[in-house]
Amino acid sequence: AQSVTQLDSQVPVFEEAPVELRCNYSSSVSVYLFWYVQYPNQGLQLLLKYLSGSTLVKGINGFEAEFNKSQTSFHLRKPSVHISDTAEYFCAVRTSGAGSYQLTFGKGTKLSVIP
Amino acid sequence: NAGVTQTPKFRILKIGQSMTLQCTQDMNHNYMYWYRQDPGMGLKLIYYSVGAGITDKGEVPNGYNVSRSTTEDFPLRLELAAPSQTSVYFCASTTGTSGKRYYNEQFFGPGTRLTVL
């Protein structure tokens, strides 16, 4: 079984400052990794995903994440945040083998961008 | 495409009442999922389906039932509502087929906010 730990439940950051949202996972098999964003009162939207290949993955809205297998991490970064980035961010993992394509989610990190 | 739609958006139930949360997708996805989201707890999988007629339990299935008679619809049934079922419920779907553009991405509905009093 796999699990996901998001190390910060809340992250306040000033507008135009950089941000990093941390995610660690545990799994005994190969995994695929995802970051989803949830804006207030909305469903989840995929930001980016790591399936294989380059460990640096670029997503929508200027976000990127780096897969680090040795540290079992998949941290999300943005060099300069905007007010509109205020949302909750979820890291998720699933095993790369065939199956039901189930995702295991972290508990989420609330990003608050301060003007 | 409308994507994944859920009804109702909001609902208040009394303890012991029953209701069905509706979920429909128009992307011809094989795989569908029901999650519940509680504050600070992330999303927990309730039930999932890998195709019409096939369903299975997720992490937190107690108190819920599902059916999948068509590819498009995946309703979630609460038989005897309890305060512990107060939550936001999300339905999601994915194609599960390699070669498709959105392979590996789960698409989420807007959610149903349920309160049990």
Average pLDDT (A14-39) is 93
User: Rounded to a whole number, what is the distance in Å from the CA of A59 to chain B's nearest CA?
Assistant: 13
pLDDT digits (tens, 9 = 90+) for B6-29: 999 999 999 999 999 999 999 999
How many residue pairs bridge chain A and chain B with CB atoms within 8 Å of each other? Answer: 54
Check CB contact of A10 with chain B, cutoff 8 Å.
no
Q: What is the mean pLDDT of residues B26-51?
A: 93
pLDDT higher than 90, residue A41? no
Sequence-ordered strand ranges (E) for chain B: 4-7, 10-13, 19-25, 31-38, 42-51, 54-57, 64-66, 76-78, 87-94, 107-108, 112-116
Per-residue tokens: B27 = 């992307």
Based on the number of CB atoms within 10 Å of its own CB, is B30 exposed (0-12), middle (13-18) or buried (19 or more)?
middle
Choice among A36-40, B6-10, B39-43 with the minimum mean pLDDT: B39-43
CB B27 within 8 A of CB B1: yes
The verdict on B2 touching A (C-beta cutoff 8 Å) is: no
B58-90 pLDDT, tens per residue?
999 999 999 999 999 999 999 999 999 999 999
